[in-house]
Amino acid sequence: MVLLRYARSFFLILSIVIGFAALPANSVMWAKSYGGTGIQEAHSVRQTSDGGYIIIGNTNSKGAGETDIWLIKTDNNGKLIWDKTFGGDNLEEGWSVEQTTDGYILAGATYSQCRFRPYLIKTDFSGNKIWEKVFPTPIYVCIAAGAYSVQQTTDGGYIIAGLAYTANCEDFYLIKTDKDGNMINSKTFDGSIPGATFYCYDRDDYAHSVQQTSDGGYIVVGTRAAGGGTGLDPDIYGGGDIWLIKTDKDLNMIWDRTFGGSEEDKGFSVQQTSDGGFIIVGTKWLAGKCPAVCLIKTKGNGDMEWEKTFGGTKYDEGFSVQQTSDGGYIIAGRSQSYNHGGSYFGLDELDAWIIKTDKDGNKIWDRNYGNVLLDRAYSIRQTSDGGYIFAGCYQTDDYNVDVLLVKLEQYPPPEKDLPLLFLKGLPKELPPKFLYPKERILIPPKTVVKHYNPSLSP
């Protein structure tokens, strides 16, 4: 029996080596995870001008507080160059990162004085903090606010999108700053229905993605929780809608559009397309089913051109979209319907899910990546070689989650030629290290903590 157990373990280890080291061309080029003990997540990834990657997320295994913003820089093969943490002695979240003309800009949320507030950090190319800003919210209450998306604008400043608590509960929040992070302008947008009675614990609007448009204004997408808690007819108002807002350069609304059905639908990512329209990805509840990935193409005035949904009979979501060099789209999310099998505490596992479509939103291919636990892809970008980079999180065992970074070739092989990327059906007695990707980079705690200065807090 002992010999049989060792033989079975050898077979499982060999299968993992095949699954990661002998992948065919035009599939996964490499997969890396970064972590120690505890929970780490990546929310955004961008290719940098040196060909490497910059990643932002959270960690609770290092830094100064319960959870800190984690910034990771790698080379073009995913090898760690440096990492930095940012935060105080409470909670911080990192959601968005972009390379700027002189370094990186980070957006997230910081918790102090019993509330979260939008948090903006500017670093140099080595991740050293140059300045930071904590922005006020319209009213002072002990409740959530934060920044989910940031982009450098053509004037050298920054546009930030997130949520803030107002007299109307939680609303879209846009902030425009100068190049030094000083607030120039801000606007909130309320998605409530006039005359309806709302309860703030289940009615919140939030902006999740913003981009400067070719006319100098901005396009924003998020969620409008129109009917939550009201008792209004869900067939009319729904539990929430994808909300698209177009503003001018001064953040004044030009038009807005909502998309959704009778359930809770959410918008996560938007981009202006080459024809002047917009592409949106989010989540839509299908009638009688669970959530599905929702891809929406609009005209330049926000009117819908087409909508596509992707999913099965379980929980599927889309978090990130980008138009690709062929005019189509690449999507990152997570899937419970299409996974590698297995369950976790009685729930079907979730896998990172990547979908490629043509210019009309028709699926060309899709792949899921994960193990027998809960994994997801939060951000994806096409790379300079025509392939793709995606980042998210990878659950290594019952107690630990790592940042996941995966590089894909541009064209995957036919499904029948694709070997197991992550081994399915691993027995619980298998040592946890065999659940990791081919290379797991352990990052012990070290003195790279960058505390924010409470004196900057308004």
297-356 pLDDT, tens digit each = 999 999 999 999 998 878 899 999 999 999 999 999 998 877 655 544 445 577 889 999
Residue-level pLDDT at 359: 97
19-66 pLDDT, tens digit each = 333 333 337 888 898 987 888 999 999 999 999 999 999 998 887 778
- Of 204, 208, 136, give the one whose Cα is nearest residue 169: 204
- Of 277, 424, 257, 450, give the one whose Cα is nearest residue 349: 424
**Helix (H) or strand (E) run with residue 282 in it:** strand 278-285
Residues in the chain: 458
192-251 pLDDT, tens digit each = 554 444 444 445 678 999 999 999 999 999 988 765 434 344 444 446 789 999 999 999
Task: Give residue 143's pLDDT band: very low, low, confident or very high (50, 70, 90).
Answer: low
* Cα–Cα distance measured from residue 229 to residue 197, given in angstroms and rounded to the nearest whole number: 8
Q: Which residue would you say has higher pLDDT here, 160 or 170?
A: 160
CA–CA distances in Å: residue 23 to residues 5, 77, 83, 85 = 27, 16, 29, 34
DSSP 78-113: --EEEEEEE--SSBEEEEEEEEETTEEEEEEEEEET
- Of 52, 77, 108, 98, give the one whose Cα is nearest residue 441: 77
Residue-level pLDDT at 312: 81
pTM: 0.82
Residue-level pLDDT at 348: 54
Residue 300 CA, chain-centre distance (Å), reads 25
Task: Give residue 264's pLDDT band: very low, low, confident or very high (50, 70, 90).
Answer: confident
367-423 pLDDT, tens digit each = 888 765 678 899 999 999 999 999 999 887 777 888 999 999 887 655 544 443 443
Residue-level pLDDT at 17: 34
The DSSP 8-state label assigned to residue 67 in this structure reads B
88-104 pLDDT, tens digit each = 878 899 999 999 999 99
Identity of residue 412: P
The CATH number of domain 2-456 is 3.40.630.30:
no
Please list, in sequence order, all residues whose beta carbon lies within 8 angstroms of the beta carbon of residue 88, skipping any fewer than 6 positions away: 64, 65, 110, 112, 451, 452, 454
Integer-rounded Cα radius of gyration of the chain: 22
The DSSP 8-state label assigned to residue 140 in this structure reads -
Q: Which residue would you say has higher pLDDT here, 272 or 235?
A: 272
Question: For the chain, how far is it from start to end, CA to CA, in angstroms?
Answer: 67
The DSSP 8-state label assigned to residue 152 in this structure reads E
Task: Give residue 451's pLDDT band: very low, low, confident or very high (50, 70, 90).
Answer: very low
Query: Is the confidence at residue 431, as pLDDT, over 50?
Result: no
Q: Which residue would you say has higher pLDDT here, 362 or 26?
A: 362
100 is written with which tokens? 């700027």
